[in-house]
Amino acid sequence: MPQPFTTERDPRDWSLVIAVFFLALCWWRLAIPSDVYFDEVHYVKAARAFLEGQRINAEHPMFGKAVLAGAIRLLGDSPLTWRIPSALFGALGLFAVGRMVWFASGRRLATLAAMFLLATNFFWFVHSRIAMLDMTMAALGMAGLWQCTAAMRLPHQARWRLALAGTLFGLALGSKWSIAPVIAVPGLILLIASLVQHRTRFLAARSGGLIEGISLLEAGVWLGLLPLAVYWASYLPAFLWASEPVSPWHPVKWHQFMIQLQDSVRKPHPYRSTWQDWVINRRAIWYLYREIDGAQRGIVLIGNPVTMFAGLAGLVWALAVGLIRKRWDALGFVGLYVVSLAFWPLSGKPIQFFYHYLLPSTFMMCALALALEALWRTEDDLRWIAPIVLVGSAVMFVWFYPIISGAALSDGKMSYEYWMWFARWR
């Protein structure tokens, strides 16, 4: 029988409870607003066109739009059904983050804290209630990382878990390209570890590596070739479009066309921002602010004021403890944060928005959870900071809930001033 990788008790059941409660909270008033808002205007239209076999919104991959189209086909064309996929993927992704942290760290409190912090950090909640591609991409990516970390801890299950991870990564990439640098990280870690351990035999050696019994060559199939194959297979509906179908034999040409479409959006946008703005929570985006469904309603994307800044301290701690004490779990989340954030200044995409911080903020919550768990375990007088941060995150979530959930606002058009602490949030 395989030896357990930790002496702590697996918090899987509590993780499931948190995910179910999160889903219930997302589901409350999910059909409000009763009209498209923000980028739903693009993706709902694209999903309808998908069902008609038409080419629309070709600058983005297919799978996320296929999921949205499937919901419309199965459940009808209504605001609730547009948003059901994001709500379900939001709960799945939250659970996956918990499993990822558990298998990476083996620490029960850190696992539950990471889920709680993510559920209340605004980003995950807001994107679990809107018909965009981001939550499909993020949830599938987190589920893939869960399987990768589990494969390292449970080598007797590694082969099927790596195959599942590769499939999930391919579908995540087929939803939105933002996940690309993240899904490259597990393979890169295995490559570096194999080079250090085996030197000239790094490709074929099956023992002594991060995943016992799996060679780097085999891992490359599961985490390299399989995701690419699944990704391209997700374009199958586009191969069958009634007009202007995509050729399955010319992927490079098609992707050049997609990049050209994305780079063509250069008109200045009032909500555009840069990665520096995201890190310090300086620039908000109003997804909705108007009178609809009998009341003034608003949905704003900002970061939780407590965890956005505590998270930066958590990243510094994780980097320090990772380098000094060889805490690979902490160092791993710092690395995922850096690569997912660095994608944007390096991508050259002319117009960028705060919602691109969804993935980096997720890994920042994981690093913060590890930091809080370590702080709570100490006998230091500062251990009280850990529960204070968790309570503060919850308080801010409750405080801002009306303006991130589309609730009815009582003070008319000027209601937003109650939450707008800084001029750049307006």
Least confident of 135-139, 257-261, 335-339, 368-372: 257-261
Residue 31 near residue 79 (C-beta atoms within 8 A): yes
Instruction: Say which DSSP state 3 is in.
Output: P
Residue 352: which region, alpha, beta or left (left: phi > 0; alpha: psi -120 to 50)?
beta
**Alpha-carbon gap, residue 395 to 313, rounded angstroms:** 20
pLDDT reported for residue 7: 84
pLDDT reported for residue 351: 76
SS3 281: coil
Write out the H or E segment, with its range, that includes residue 297.
strand 295-301
SS3 176: coil
Query: Stretch 317-337: mean pLDDT, rounded?
Result: 96
Q: Which two tokens stand for residue 124?
A: 């995950």
**Alpha-carbon gap, residue 14 to 20, rounded angstroms:** 10
With helix as H, strand as E and coil as C, how does 333-397 read? HHHHHHHHHHHHHHHCCCCCCHHHHHHHHHHHHHHHHHHHHHHHHCCCHHHHHHHHHHHHHHHHH
**Alpha-carbon gap, residue 125 to 19, rounded angstroms:** 12
Q: Which two tokens stand for residue 235?
A: 């374009």
Closest listed residue to residue 40, CA positions, set 62, 57, 61 = 57
Would you say residue 272 has pLDDT above 90? no
Predicted confidence (pLDDT) per residue in 388-410, tens digit: 999 999 999 999 999 999 999 98
Would you say residue 114 has pLDDT above 60? yes
Query: Stretch 362-382: mean pLDDT, rounded?
Result: 93
Q: Which two tokens stand for residue 355?
A: 């919602």
Residue 366 near residue 149 (C-beta atoms within 8 A): no
Predicted confidence (pLDDT) per residue in 86-111, tens digit: 999 999 999 999 999 999 999 999 99
What is the percent of the chain with per-residue pLDDT over 70, rounded to a whole number? 97
**Alpha-carbon gap, residue 147 to 140, rounded angstroms:** 11
**Alpha-carbon gap, residue 285 to 118, rounded angstroms:** 19
pLDDT reported for residue 376: 93
- DSSP character string of 24-60: HHHHTTTT-SSS--TTHHHHHHHHHHHHTT---STTS
Query: Stretch 58-87: mean pLDDT, rounded?
Result: 96
Closest listed residue to residue 275, CA positions, set 176, 196, 178, 189 = 178
Which amino acid would we find at residue 276?
A: Q
Predicted confidence (pLDDT) per residue in 15-34, tens digit: 999 999 999 999 999 999 99
Q: What's the order of all strands across the beta sheet hosting 285-292?
A: 285-292, 295-301, 408-409
Predicted confidence (pLDDT) per residue in 335-358, tens digit: 999 999 999 998 877 778 899 999
Would you say residue 230 has pLDDT above 70? yes
Distances in whole angstroms, Cα of residue 113 to Cα of each of 117, 119, 120 = 6, 10, 11
Least confident of 182-191, 226-235, 236-245, 334-343: 236-245
Alpha carbon 45 to chain centroid, angstroms:
23
Would you say residue 179 has pLDDT above 50? yes
Residue 341 near residue 280 (C-beta atoms within 8 A): no
pLDDT reported for residue 413: 83
With tokens 């505590």, the residue in question is: 310
pLDDT reported for residue 1: 46
Instruction: Say which DSSP state 223 is in.
Output: I
pLDDT reported for residue 268: 67
Query: Stretch 119-123: mean pLDDT, rounded?
Result: 97
Q: Which two tokens stand for residue 280?
A: 């310090």
Calculate the average pLDDT of the chain.
Answer: 92
pLDDT band at 294 (very low <50, low <70, confident <90, very high): very high
User: How many degrees, rounded to 5, is the angle at CA 397 between CA 418 and CA 39?
Assistant: 80
pLDDT reported for residue 380: 77
What is the percent of the chain with per-residue pLDDT over 90, rounded to a whole number? 76
Q: Which two tokens stand for residue 314?
A: 């958590």
Which amino acid would we find at residue 6?
A: T
Query: Stretch 277-302: mean pLDDT, rounded?
Result: 93
pTM of the prediction? 0.95
Instruction: Determine the longest span between alpha carbons in the chain, in angstroms.
Output: 69
